[in-house]
Amino acid sequence: MIDSTLDLNKFSAALTCRDGIWFSPSASPVSYPHEIRDLIFQIEDSSFWFRHRNCCIGEAIRNYPPAGVLLELGGGNGCVSKYLQDNQIGVVLLEPDIAGIRNARERGVKNLICSTYKDARFNGHSLPAIGLFDVLEHIEDDLGFLRDVKNTLMPGGRVYITSPAHNFLWADADDYGKHFRRYALGSLSSILGKAGFEAEYGTYLFSLLPTPILLLRALPYAIGIRGRWSVERARKEYMHDRGLAQSLLRYFGHLECALIKHRKRIPFGSSCLVIGRAVSA
């Protein structure tokens, strides 16, 4: 259940609460385009892509529930955290950008930490679960980071990950978003194993999107005929929610959520979803 008065000092003695937001003693710089954060805040609640990802994450977490509160790392404006909170999954949002934290509070997210993961100084083996929703691709040393995450989790604690899939779908948005890579399910499960996790479940998401992404984004980008990614272009692509294409996306989106609910795997898609359980060395 949701605890709107959660004492986060049981996870880190370094955090202090001011005006309902927890802060770390230091604030390391992060590299993330603020205009993306602002754009995403405008479109998250009405975009099929964000709604569908939330549905898939929620079904997966219900199948493999955390043994306590879930800490969402780098959760931006709180779109996923609010969805989980509304579905009675205890969640804490950690986001280093105070503007993102304020957006999340406006959205109604209860438990908020303004900090980087490193600056928060979480106690070793203290957290029941961690969510990394389209975060890992932004981290250069993903293996080292996952090892740190594992050392923060309780024995048997879970990590929930979504990420963009397939390097052949690389396009201008990946460059603009400062991604280091896209993943395949095999590579993501492999790196989880090296970091000390057992991959309990994995599936692709957005099964209809690889072909249009390849034809309309990746190939034009690769041969230099697609212009640079822009906020205005992204607004048009994410906000377009009418017509046959969107009807098909919604239909297949319902099917994908149903498959995940029944622990089935989707064989291909433009995003990955993986759940790992921390195992003893």
Model confidence pLDDT, tens digit, residues 176-211: 888 999 999 999 999 999 999 999 999 999 999 999
Where in 35-141 does DSSP place strands (E)? Answer: 70-73, 91-94, 112-114, 127-133
Arithmetic mean of pLDDT over the chain: 91
The 10s digit of each residue's pLDDT in 213-254 is 999 899 999 998 876 666 666 666 665 555 666 778 888 899
Cβ atoms within 10 Å of 251's Cβ, excluding its own: 11
**Do residues 37 and 43 make contact, with C-beta atoms less than 8 angstroms apart?**
no
Q: What is the layout of strands, in order, in the sheet containing 91-94?
A: 16-18, 21-23, 112-114, 91-94, 70-73, 127-133, 153-164, 271-278, 197-205
pTM for the model: 0.93
Question: Sorting pLDDT into bands at 50, 70 and 90, what band is 3?
Answer: very low
**Do residues 36 and 177 make contact, with C-beta atoms less than 8 angstroms apart?**
yes
**Do residues 132 and 73 make contact, with C-beta atoms less than 8 angstroms apart?**
yes
The 10s digit of each residue's pLDDT in 132-185 is 999 999 999 999 999 999 999 999 999 999 999 999 999 988 988 889 999 999
Structural domains of the chain ordered from first start: 8-278 (3.40.50.150)
